[in-house]
Amino acid sequence: MAIKFGRPIEARTRLAPVGPAADAERLDLPTRLRRNRRSEWARRMTRENQLTTDDLIWPLFIMDGDNKRAPIASMPGVERLTIDQAVREAARAAKLTIPCLALFPYTDPGLRDETGSEALNPDNLVCRALRAIKKEVPDLGLLADVALDPFTSHGHDGLLRDGEILNDETVAVLVKQAVVQAEAGCDIIAPSDMMDGRVGAIRKALDAANFIDVSIMAYAAKYASVFYGPFRDAVGSSKTLTGDKRTYQMDFANTDEALREVALDIEEGADMIMIKPGLPYLDIVQRVKDAFAMPTFAYQVSGEYAMIMAASNNGWLDGERAMWETLTAFKRAGADGVLTYFAPRVAEKLKKG
């Protein structure tokens, strides 16, 4: 049986009378939704989704050197930081009550090779940054990617042979990379490579090494996307990448496949899951959250950030309002948190009230 709400549509859409008799002949509308929108205090009081600093993970790009910051042309306002500068930003994040940083390295081209061997160096850039930040800001959460693309000469996330990414051989390397990062003080291991079976293998290795309290945030539904371009500029893989990543990252036309990917990662031991990119995949965020009720995160990736900043810098839209609107959209879709380059700007605004 169909359920009908309210009066017939004719009665609800009748035009209000005008003229002297208007006050006496107003529409009989017991529910006027505009009452809750009339003032700022009412809008705040009835708002369904609230963005707080607890929702933010701040990605930082790390480079070698001392006391330097290098702007990233395709990401206005974002810089590569030497470790000492990253420590300063970590202290800033703690003061702003941002709970977690995500670290991404710009690896010297001379240290990149076919197998990404620098990823296993316990004194590599990421590991040194993890130790330095943990020493100075011990209560701040630190997330590190597990993938080989910042370390390989070909720019792919895994081992490459005759143009093919080797799944199982890559997983064996990723397991070692995860343990090295855990030893350096990483709190959340984030496998972003999309190799099959890597979450279970990493969980087993972390537990065997007595890192049972180190969490795994799996890039469970990571799509082969054009929106990663500026990020690849930031980590230095855009010029080295040969071919594309469509054989291991997801097809952007698929949704049911995302649920299968997420289910596998949860079964293998993921503590949290991530959807990447963000805004073009809000439907995936909602489906995943509804289906699994797991801590679910989205990555507002570099291309999304760059588009907003470019439009803002050209005067085509209000960048600050776009920032708030898009980040709130993640919350509305069901995300528990967002990795976003806007994190410090949002946190500063929230702190000021």
Active site residues: 222, 276
Measure the CA–CA gap between 113 and 219, rounded to whole angstroms: 24
Residue owning tokens 């017939």: 8
The residue among 57, 97, 53 whose CA lies nearest residue 272 is 57
Query: Cis bond leading into 277, ω under 30°?
Result: yes
Q: How far is it, in rounded angstroms, from Cα 230 to Cα 222? A: 17
Give the residue among 235, 247, 299 at the shortest CA–CA distance from 272. 299
CB 296 within 8 A of CB 285: yes
User: Crossing angle for the helix pair 83-95 and 125-136, nearest 10 degrees?
Assistant: 40
What's the angle, vertex CA 157, arms to CA 216 and CA 336, rounded to 5?
Answer: 35
**Strand 337-339 versus strand 188-191 pairing type:** unpaired
CA 277, CA 34: separation in Å to the nearest integer? Answer: 35
Strands 69-71 and 56-62 come out as unpaired
Q: Are strands 69-71 and 296-299 parallel, antiparallel or unpaired?
A: unpaired
